Structure 1
Amino acid sequence: MTATIADEKARNVTVSRGYRFEVVKLVSQWRIRLLVLACWIAPALFVAAVGQQSTLPVDTLFGRWMLATGWAGSLVMLGFAGTWALPLLTSVVAGDVFASEDRLGTWRHLLVAVRSPRRIFAAKALASLSVILLLVAGLMVSSTVGGLVTVGNLPLVGLDGHLLSPGDAAGKVLLAWVCALAPTLALAAIGLLGSVALGRSPMGLLLPAIAALAMQLAQMLPLPVAVRLALPSYAFIAWNGLFTSPAQPGPLLIGVAVSLAWAATATALAYRLFVRRDFTNLAYDGAGRRAVTAGALPVAGLVAVAVVLVATAAGTGFTGSGIDQDKVERSVATAFAHLYRIQARQLNRSDVTEAQLGATAACNKSGGKGAQEGPGNDWRCAVSWHLPDVEATGQAIYQLDVTADGRYVADGDGPKEVNGYFLVRTQTGDAPNPLWQFDGNVELLPTTAKG
């Protein structure tokens, strides 16, 4: 009778009960608690500390605006998280959730208690996902609160120089963080796959971080656009398009879809390996050769299929770098016109519209020699504009450093009174001339609307 009652209770262990048990196991680990504490406190301290400094992280997107608005700090943290923090967090959480049972030799006890590998997998996957979401939420909330408390709820300058109201900035910052969850899920699924396939091997723990590093290196290379979009890492940078007017949602939507496809595929592969595992083998040390045939090869196939689908859908526009002369000229001219108006208000000059300025840009790469496309720090642009009631046409020179992902930094090269370095008065104190240096974004898709 006692054995019958015990069997009945074992059969009644549901996924929800297993999930609660796995969450308790995760948060009871000192390293998980330390990560939660760090994610909910460290970003606020970092943003607040930068807000008290005169030197800003201008090499980071939106870093140059951290003294102008509190919303910039959250975006700086998002850029850092996509590059370093989130890959490491997914490694520690998802990359160890199955491997820890192998190291401790507790699979037999867990199977006796639950009696269902399927429910065990679901409980562990959901528990790791919950902890990862808690960590991401901490990064977002902490960095946002730190920026708003230190600097204030002020307008944010977008990547094309247009001014976003605090309400618009709040909505787009939140949306950018939400979209970053998709590639985070992809890395977490890779962590689950590594944890299942490699057993107690430390490579399972490192797999998400290694995969993220490899994809980041790929994004730095002059690869075709279709290859970039086929990697989930692109979604960590595609949110840049939210901060232009009009917005550039195309790359972001593709990046999110690709990331979710990666997440679903890697999770399904991890589930398939786990439910087929022989738990009676106490010497189990990973799936061995099956880890390649059932894990790595399908993921590589997914990349190839994604490249073909993206390239086929867009035609020949996806076979190149996505950066050409026309796109660079439109982007620089648009950003200059928006920032010129901001400078005029800061210098108490008469306001003019973008239409009145009629700003245009003439850009060339390598002095006009060779193909006028692709990334590089040898782009040079001459911006021309015309003020009402002034016969002379204004002109300013910029040196551009365009990266392979479409982001660029424009550095003013004269005349000094227009785009040279000098301080202007702002709501938060003296700040560099907004036309001196600015960040911009070239949408890589061939469907960019002209503006």
Structure 2
Amino acid sequence: MTATIAPEHVAEDRTAGARRVSVARCYRFELVKLVSQWRVRLLVLACWIAPALFVAAVSRQSTLPTDTLFGRWMHATGWAGPLVVLGFAGSWALPLLTSLVAGDVFASEDRLGTWRHLLVAVRSPRRIFVAKALASLTVILLLVAGLACSGAIGGVAAVGNQPLVGLDGHLLTPSGAAGEVLLAWVCALAPTMALAAIGLLGSVALGRSPMGLLLPALVALVMQLAQMLPLPVAVRLALPGYAFIAWNGLFTSPAQLGPLLIGIGVSLVWAVVATALAYLLFLRRDFTNLTYDGSGRHAITTGLLPLVGLVVLTVAAVAVATPSMGSGIEQNKVQRSVATAFAHLYRMQTKQLNRPDVTEAQLKVTAACNKGDGQVTPEGAGNDWRCVVTWHLPGVEAAGTAVYQLDVTSDGRFVADGDGPKEVNGYFLVKTPIGDAPNPLWQFDGNVALLSTPSKG
């Protein structure tokens, strides 16, 4: 006996098959699923509230996080707070957030065993991948926006809309500081997207394994450790997390844009490649296997090895584009950075002490720096740098001198600690429009351009 299908049933099947779920509808569904999780809701709430409370509380303390970039200026301006938050977020918060969101967006379906239901409803693995990737990216952008806005609101509300001292001592107007802070957070989106793409790859490749959830945080930790090592500049710039550091160059005049642009470019390449690898693995997986626990050999051949190859290619490309295989921290660069910062801060001190104004051209500041008391080659990171700064005042024949001890880190940041004379760079309080503040020449932060730049004059 031959079975037949009624014509009306055939029409219904064709109509059902024609009703394909669009990417937009699938995206809304995935976004609602993410936001409905209590964990994600807590993250959003924390990102929009915690930074403001932290910045406001720290700004009112007698001691400041001076070991953090811009931490020493949190009493002076509200725009230092969001930069302190950005420094913390780039090291810890953003890698963890990308792990919890992007690193779990596919693995959650494996744990719940809901892939078959989702495939029946959507009928397209491609649309499912796109929807999940966009939904996770949307949530991550919401979290980043919360960190930035909350930190800025907390700082301005607690301290005020005051000028910000840059990393070379020059003063940014409140509007200029606001623009640079916003741009710094926008630049941090590129490495965040790279970590999110790595999270997608880990979630697809490792299935319900906890390693997929931790992969972005582990990659970020490895990159942080690598930045602490005496690696060549080309290797540093080729790591996708370097843009979390390179935003420092926005706060010098002129801005040190070379490392920042390279870092953003490398991060975006990583984001595209890691997402493409996750997409290929996702299309190849067997959704009928209820015990699926990762792609196994495919995770290595399609996921890990291409990323290793990408590291080699980016290092080679950066090395060719910027032939700098050394540390990038050289004597002339340190001397130039210290002299520039001192000149700007000396003018600030002059204004605070109500002395006659002078210009940088009149001061003619120079710095003579050595490392290890002159017993070692003056290059590379270390806390054994010593600089003697010399300047001239109009109408005064004798030159002024001041000594600084420098602690220079591998990424080019340094802290200059005044070592006399105490009347110039010792610790004493000066009156400012917002109250008493430490002598600006006592301790200050600076930044050495790791890439070679043309000398002025």
TM-score, normalised relative to structure 1: 0.98
Q: What corresponds to 2:3 in structure 1?
A: none
Q: What corresponds to 2:114 in structure 1?
A: 106
The AA in structure 2 aligned to 1:380 is: R
Alpha carbons of structure 1 residues 278 and 449: separation in structure 2 relative to 1, 3 Å: farther
Shift of residue 344, structure 1, vs aligned partner: 0.5
| Larger CA deviation: 117-126 vs 10-19 | 10-19
Q: Which runs of 5+ in 1 are unaligned?
A: none
Shift of residue 368, structure 1, vs aligned partner: 1.2
RMSD of aligned Cα (Å) = 1.1
- Quote the Cα distance in structure 2 between the aligned partners of 1:75 and 1:291: 37
Matched, 1:45 2:16: no
SS in 2 for 1:223: coil
- Quote the Cα distance in structure 2 between the aligned partners of 1:9 and 1:119: 17
Q: What corresponds to 2:422 in structure 1?
A: 416
Instruction: Give yes or no for contact 1:330–1:450 (8 Å, CA) kept in 2.
Output: no
Aligned mate of 1:59, from 43, 63, 67: 67
SS in 2 for 1:206: helix
The AA in structure 2 aligned to 1:406 is: G
Q: What corresponds to 2:342 in structure 1?
A: 336
Alpha carbons of structure 1 residues 358 and 98: separation in structure 2 relative to 1, 3 Å: same
Cα deviation, 1:171-225, whole Å, max 9, x if unaligned, reads 1110000000000000000000000000000000000000000000001111000
Alpha carbons of structure 1 residues 198 and 418: separation in structure 2 relative to 1, 3 Å: same
Based on CA coordinates, which of the two structures has the bigger radius of gyration? 2
SS in 2 for 1:380: strand
The AA in structure 2 aligned to 1:279 is: F
Shift of residue 427, structure 1, vs aligned partner: 1.8
Q: How does 1:162-181 map to 2 (within 5 A)?
A: 162-181=170-189
Matched, 1:431 2:426: no
Shift of residue 370, structure 1, vs aligned partner: 2.2
Q: What corresponds to 1:380 in structure 2?
A: 386
Q: What corresponds to 2:34 in structure 1?
A: 26
Q: What corresponds to 2:292 in structure 1?
A: 284
Alpha carbons of structure 1 residues 2 and 399: separation in structure 2 relative to 1, 3 Å: farther
Alignment size in residue pairs = 449
Alpha carbons of structure 1 residues 274 and 3: separation in structure 2 relative to 1, 3 Å: farther
The AA in structure 1 aligned to 2:36 is: S
- Quote the Cα distance in structure 1 between the aligned partners of 2:13 and 2:153: 50
Aligned mate of 1:441, from 432, 437, 447: 447
Shift of residue 12, structure 1, vs aligned partner: 1.9
Shift of residue 5, structure 1, vs aligned partner: 4.0
Cα deviation, 1:154-175, whole Å, max 9, x if unaligned, reads 1000000000001111111100
- Quote the Cα distance in structure 1 between the aligned partners of 2:109 and 2:273: 23
Cα deviation, 1:93-133, whole Å, max 9, x if unaligned, reads 00000000000000000000001000000000000000000
Matched, 1:306 2:314: yes
Shift of residue 375, structure 1, vs aligned partner: 0.2
Aligned mate of 1:361, from 367, 383, 405: 367
Q: What corresponds to 1:244 in structure 2?
A: 252
SS in 1 for 2:52: helix
- Quote the Cα distance in structure 2 between the aligned partners of 1:300 and 1:447: 31
Aligned mate of 1:70, from 71, 78, 88: 78
SS in 2 for 1:237: helix
Shift of residue 449, structure 1, vs aligned partner: 4.3
Matched, 1:153 2:166: no
Q: What corresponds to 1:209 in structure 2?
A: 217
Q: What corresponds to 2:355 in structure 1?
A: 349
Q: What corresponds to 2:104 in structure 1?
A: 96
Aligned mate of 1:269, from 271, 277, 301: 277
- Quote the Cα distance in structure 2 between the aligned partners of 1:147 and 1:6: 60
The AA in structure 1 aligned to 2:95 is: P
Aligned mate of 1:393, from 395, 399, 403: 399
- Quote the Cα distance in structure 1 between the aligned partners of 2:117 and 2:184: 42
Q: Which runs of 5+ in 2 are unaligned?
A: 1-7
- Quote the Cα distance in structure 2 between the aligned partners of 1:48 and 1:4: 65
Instruction: Give yes or no for contact 2:94–2:192 (8 Å, CA) kept in 1.
Output: yes
SS in 1 for 2:444: strand
Q: What corresponds to 2:326 in structure 1?
A: 320
SS in 2 for 1:398: strand
The AA in structure 1 aligned to 2:182 is: L
- Quote the Cα distance in structure 2 between the aligned partners of 1:347 and 1:8: 82
SS in 2 for 1:233: coil
Q: What corresponds to 2:4 in structure 1?
A: none
The AA in structure 1 aligned to 2:171 is: L
- Quote the Cα distance in structure 1 between the aligned partners of 2:317 and 2:444: 35
Cα deviation, 1:234-282, whole Å, max 9, x if unaligned, reads 1001000000011110000000000000000000000000011111111
| Larger CA deviation: 361-370 vs 85-94 | 361-370
The AA in structure 2 aligned to 1:277 is: R
Shift of residue 4, structure 1, vs aligned partner: 5.1
Q: What corresponds to 1:225 in structure 2?
A: 233
| Larger CA deviation: 59-68 vs 10-19 | 10-19
TM-score, normalised relative to structure 2: 0.97
Q: What corresponds to 1:80 in structure 2?
A: 88
SS in 2 for 1:95: helix
The AA in structure 2 aligned to 1:321 is: S
The AA in structure 2 aligned to 1:278 is: D
Instruction: Give yes or no for contact 2:20–2:123 (8 Å, CA) kept in 1.
Output: no
- Quote the Cα distance in structure 2 between the aligned partners of 1:7 and 1:321: 66
The AA in structure 2 aligned to 1:418 is: V
SS in 1 for 2:76: coil
Shift of residue 372, structure 1, vs aligned partner: 1.2
- Quote the Cα distance in structure 2 between the aligned partners of 1:386 and 1:161: 18
Instruction: Give yes or no for contact 1:39–1:135 (8 Å, CA) kept in 2.
Output: yes
Shift of residue 371, structure 1, vs aligned partner: 1.6
